[in-house]
Amino acid sequence: MKQRVLINGASGGVGTFAVQIAKSFGAEVTGVCSTKKMEMVRSIGADHVINYTREDFTQNGQQYDLILAANGDRSISDYQRALSPKEKSSLRWNLTTNPDKGPRMEIKNVRRVH
Ligand SMILES: NC(=O)c1ccc[n+]([C@@H]2O[C@H](COP(=O)([O-])OP(=O)(O)OC[C@H]3O[C@@H](n4cnc5c(N)ncnc54)[C@H](OP(=O)(O)O)[C@@H]3O)[C@@H](O)[C@H]2O)c1
């Protein structure tokens, strides 16, 4: 079964690489971005695109095996809600140089999916 990966900030400098890397590992990729970037995120390989101006990915009932948060606008508990049960316990954060603004980026359990 494919790993389900969500990239929050999929249309940005970090996120566009992340979408393509996750796809190259065989994951099922969901990208989160604004309305005008949706087509671009699809074009680089995202299987699903969520428009953050219309839908909250932490409230729609979907869960992911890996979340890359390429922006810092959500709380840890928001991300926990969207992580699959087996991944919740291993949640960890890498902080950028400005910890006052909270967690910025999360990369974990990157592995090749066959
Ligand atoms: N680029 C680097 O070399 C680098 C290095 C180290 C750390 N970082 C850190 O990594 C993070 C991302 O950097 P970046 O260069 O990828 O930034 P960026 O190019 O400005 O991209 C920001 C992304 O966040 C999205 N976004 C904005 N508001 C959002 C919201 N409310 N919900 C969901 N997504 C939202 C944007 O989507 P839309 O454009 O569609 O609105 C865009 O995809 C930043 O915190 C940066 O400080 C970057």
Q: CA–CA separation, 62 vs 67, rounded Å?
A: 12
* CATH superfamily of the domain spanning 4-101: NAD(P)-binding Rossmann-like Domain (3.40.50.720)
pLDDT in tens, the chain (114 residues): 888 999 999 999 999 999 999 999 899 999 999 999 999 999 999 999 999 999 999 999 999 988 888 876 788 788 888 888 776 554 544 433 344 444 444 444 444 443
Going by alpha carbons, the residue nearest to atom 14 of ligand 1 is 13
39 SS3 class: helix
- Is any ligand 1 atom within 6 A of the Cβ of residue 7? no
pTM to 2 decimals? 0.82
Residue 12 C-alpha to ligand 1 middle, in angstroms? 5
CB-count exposure of residue 44 (10 Å: 0-12, 13-18, 19+): middle
Residue 13 C-alpha to ligand 1 middle, in angstroms? 7
Residue 95 C-alpha to ligand 1 middle, in angstroms? 14
